[in-house]
Amino acid sequence: MTERKPPGVSFESWVDRQIREAEARGEFAHLPGAGEPLPDGLDTSYDELWWIKRKMAREGLSVLPPTLALRKEAEDALEAAAAAPSERAVRRIVTEINAKIRDMMFKPPPGPPLGLKPYDVEEIVREWHAARTD
């Protein structure tokens, strides 16, 4: 659509003609989503960041405030420690997450409070041993 609107022709008529001609050429025949229902979520109120949210959902991304992200990471670290193959791995996992927790405790980022303190490595190792002997 490189041609300019001719003078004296209303904009609406010119656009309608462009669409009609493109349709006659079959340019709309095989567009993605043709013949499919509209995606869910179109009935919601206007959100100016809708396209970013949809893109993030499609890519499997999420953004949490740093403290909430660390809480999730700490939760995952405890699960990983429980499933670790050796005591050495348990100690490494817990030591790494403790370092991150301490960093955030001493340099609080914006957002909700962390509400965590470093884990007791020896206690987690005892729990890991107990789970292995049962």
Residue 82 buriedness (CB in 10 A; 0-12 / 13-18 / 19+): middle
Average confidence (pLDDT) over 2-23: 77
Give 7's pLDDT tier (boundaries 50, 70, 90): confident
**Per mean pLDDT, which range of 14-18, 70-74, 95-99, 109-113 is the poorest?**
109-113
What is the number of other CB atoms lying within 10 angstroms of the CB of residue 84? Answer: 18
Q: Is the pTM of this model over 0.75?
A: no
Q: Which amino acid is at 100?
A: K
In this predicted structure, the answer to whether residue 100 has a pLDDT above a threshold of 90 is yes
The per-residue pLDDT for 66 is 84
From residue 4, alpha-carbon distances to 7, 9, 35, 131 in Å are 9, 11, 32, 75
Average confidence (pLDDT) over 88-99: 96
